[in-house]
Amino acid sequence: MTVQNENEYEDLLGLWADLESGLGIILGSPGSIQEFEQRVWQYDRWMQALLKRDTDVGLYLLFQLAMNSPVGYSASHALVSAVLCHLIAVDLKLSPTERDNLVHAALTMNIAMTALQDQLAGQTEKPNVEQRDAINTHAVKGRQMLVDIGVADALWLDTITLHHDDSTDRGDLRDLPPARRLARILRIVDRYAAMISPRQSREGRTATESARSIITQAADRHDEVGHALIRAVGLCPPGTYVRLDNKEVAVVMRRSSEPDHPHVAIVINEAGTLLNPPRLHRTANSGPKIKASLPTSAVRVRINHYQVLQLGAYAAQHP
């Protein structure tokens, strides 16, 4: 289903932003939320409904939200992680029970350090001793917080407890006990999502740099999680920027059957001038090719994202 007009685009962007905002509220004050677990299920269903409408459009809007501002970092990170976990769960054909617990763990894995995570995103200095201690203990403390507010699912809780345990990297994914399997997936997704997100201490690494780092490490371990992540979102996910080998700049619109050859909209020509309207380019078919991924901060012109998504809809309808 495509975005039919500019108002519909704004509405859809607003729905993703509202989901992120609502998630921020329950993560920021979990003890004051009635039926916390039911709220997590509600946000999960909301997320799935938005992705089901059009996964590429959902990823485009999600990555745009995640990369444009460090404000509300914790909620943004949780939502990006949950979406990626959902897509990987589908790719790996996890059981519905494992998929649900993985996504719910992604949404709540940092619940014991929500305020600190937002604070760290806005500070330029390295974490101090007290902050480092909170980081090191947040998985165990997060589990206890969830137990205290009524979460009783052991797989959800165990996945959170283990999501920074590097021992989950050992062994074949399919042979691991469920909690360790889910924790390995969440651990990789958590690192990837953190890499692409901007903070005051550094700009977000470009998604391609992050993806290459994770896929290389996964390949070295023969781990299928990293490969599933690339299959799910591509080497250059929708919503991220790239420089082409003719010096034009494009924004990725949709994934294609080849992870390293997405459909893009060229938005800036080789002279650095904004193109209005943007131009569709299928990188798998012909040159120019993608030379490098770019951080959002490198693109200083105002992009008409509705026009970009219209081109993406055309690309989907006319393969």
Parallel, antiparallel, or unpaired: how do β-strands 241-244 and 249-254 relate?
antiparallel
Residue 317 has what pLDDT?
A: 86
Confidence of residue 223 (pLDDT cuts 50, 70, 90): confident
Side chain identity, residue 317: Q
Work out the angle at residue 105's Cα, subtended by the Cα atoms of residues 102 and 109, and round it to the nearest 5 degrees.
145
Asked whether the CA dihedral 252, 257, 260, 261 is positive or negative, the reply is negative
- Distances, alpha carbon 259 to alpha carbons 175, 208, 235, in Å: 27, 11, 6
Neighbouring residues of 240: CB distance < 8 A, sequence distance ≥ 6: 63, 67, 196, 206, 207, 208, 251, 252, 293, 294
Side chain identity, residue 314: Y
Once rounded to an integer, what is the mean pLDDT over residues 58-85?
A: 87
What domains are defined for the chain?
6-233 (1.10.3210.10), 241-317 (no CATH)
Asked whether residue 70 carries a pLDDT value surpassing 60, the answer given is no
Residue whose entry in the numeric block shows the structure tokens 């589990």: 143
Tokens of 241: 């920027």
Asked whether residue 200 carries a pLDDT value surpassing 80, the answer given is no
The pLDDT tens digits for 233-284 are: 988 899 999 999 999 999 999 999 888 899 999 999 999 999 999 999 999 9
Residue 1 has what pLDDT?
A: 52
- Distances, alpha carbon 89 to alpha carbons 49, 82, 184, 202, 214, in Å: 16, 10, 12, 30, 17
Q: What is the pTM of this model?
A: 0.93
Cβ neighbourhood burial of 22 (10 Å; 0-12, 13-18, 19+): middle
